[in-house]
Amino acid sequence: MLNFFKSRLNYFLGALFGIILLGTSLANAQSNYPNRPIKFIAPFPPGGTSDILGRLMAQKLGEALGQPVIIDNRPGASGNIGHEIAAKSAPDGYTLLLSNNGTAVNNPHLFKQLNYDWYRDFSPISLVAFGCQALVVHPSVPAKNVAELTALFKSKPGQLNYGSGGRGTPSHIAGEMYKTTVNLDILHIPYKGTGVAVADLVAGQTQMIFAEMALAVSFIKANKLRALAVTSPQRSTTFPDLPTMVELGYPNFVSGNWWAIVAPKGVPSSIIDRINQELGKIMVSTEIRDSFEKLGVNPLHSEPGKVFELSRQESPVIGEIIRKAGIEKE
């Protein structure tokens, strides 16, 4: 019997020692973070706003953390592919994801099955950017304002179209808001990313898009696209002469994109806090503010919990818009 208790005591002490070693190892890993490159997943194609913003922040995060932060473009399925990859990555702080409201808020209303759960599988770090959309048309479209555009579409039911960055993206949702608000018969042309959709609009393949400001700015200034309005509550500082949709008589027509950095669920809070603190410095830097302003995007910084708080606020609103537009889950 004595030998039994001795063996149990030895087992307990060995297990306790192992736990202590494991705890020490995890603590050391966190205190040494980061000691190798960090992967930063952008779930949309190169050239889009997510990619542009991601590269700007990756450079600054890398400088702040002392390790390279490498962009990994994983486009497809309206952002779902990149989110699934991130959700299944190790929760060690070496995989980050640049998410946005199009995927986090819209997609649960658009897909019957997602291989990740926004609230269950991710740890939020911070909101990082917000940008309104610009209603832009190809210069060949004979409309100088939204009223003329609406009249043109109504005069040719089913003959004209608008592009979007894909099913359920903010550009699609805004297009459907416009379509249902004024009762238009207009064809939706989805693309694999808003950057591709804007390029095709410039080429004259489509007539209109609610483009992310970051993608439209250079084309508007070069007169390759004509801007008719913006979707923000107030006028854009980038194009202060452009009216808002609210000003034009659409009181509930406010739309835009926000971006947030998240990590796989389970990343130690010390790492989350470290990245959040660095982002707090980065997002108020003159370089980031100037770069974002040129893109028509506002830099943001928030407590981690604000990311999920904003998602929960927007979800029922977006769900109702999708329901009214008759968009069914696929």
Q: In this structure, what CATH number is given to the domain that contains residue 188?
A: 3.40.190.10
Predicted TM-score (pTM) above 0.85:
no
Pair 121, 268 in one domain: yes
Number of structural domains (the chain) is 2
- Give the residue from 189, 214, 230 where a domain finishes: 230
Pair 50, 68 in one domain: yes
Pair 83, 173 in one domain: no
Pair 213, 267 in one domain: no
Pair 142, 64 in one domain: no
Q: What is the pLDDT of residue 195?
A: 87
Establish if 105 belongs to a structural domain. yes
Q: What is the pLDDT of residue 325?
A: 79
Establish if 240 belongs to a structural domain. no
CA distance linking residue 84 with residue 82, whole number of Å: 5
Q: What is the pLDDT of residue 31?
A: 67
Establish if 119 belongs to a structural domain. yes
Pair 125, 188 in one domain: no
Domain range for 180 is: 132-230
CA dihedral for 299, 197, 99, 175, sign (positive or negative): positive
Structure tokens at 250: 């659409």
- Give the residue from 193, 215, 230 where a domain finishes: 230
Helix (H, G, I), strand (E, B) or coil at 260: strand
Pair 69, 204 in one domain: no
Establish if 247 belongs to a structural domain. no
Pair 153, 213 in one domain: yes
CA distance linking residue 255 with residue 84, whole number of Å: 26
Q: What is the mean pLDDT of the chain?
A: 89
pLDDT in tens, the chain (330 residues): 444 334 444 544 454 444 444 444 444 445 699 999 999 999 988 877 888 899 999 999 999 999 999 999 998 888 899 999 999 999 999 999 999 998 999 999 999 999 999 999 999 999 999 999 999 999 999 999 999 999 999 999 999 999 998 888 889 999 999 998 899 999 999 998 888 999 999 999 999 999 988 889 999 999 999 999 999 988 988 899 999 999 999 988 988 889 999 999 999 999 999 999 999 999 999 999 999 988 888 999 999 999 999 999 999 989 998 888 788 888
Q: What is the pLDDT of residue 26?
A: 44
pLDDT digits (tens, 9 = 90+) for 258-282: 999 999 999 999 999 999 999 999 9
Establish if 31 belongs to a structural domain. no
Q: In this structure, what CATH number is given to the domain that contains residue 127?
A: 3.40.190.150
Pair 103, 173 in one domain: no
Pair 194, 275 in one domain: no
Establish if 310 belongs to a structural domain. yes
Pair 113, 183 in one domain: no
- Give the residue from 168, 195, 230 where a domain finishes: 230
Establish if 18 belongs to a structural domain. no
Establish if 199 belongs to a structural domain. yes
CA distance linking residue 117 with residue 182, whole number of Å: 35
Pair 201, 265 in one domain: no
Q: What is the pLDDT of residue 14?
A: 52
Long-range pairs for 323-330: beta carbons < 8 A, 24 or more residues apart = 324/180, 325/176, 325/177, 325/179, 325/180, 327/110, 327/167, 327/168, 327/176, 329/109, 329/110, 329/111, 329/112, 330/110, 330/111, 330/112, 330/167
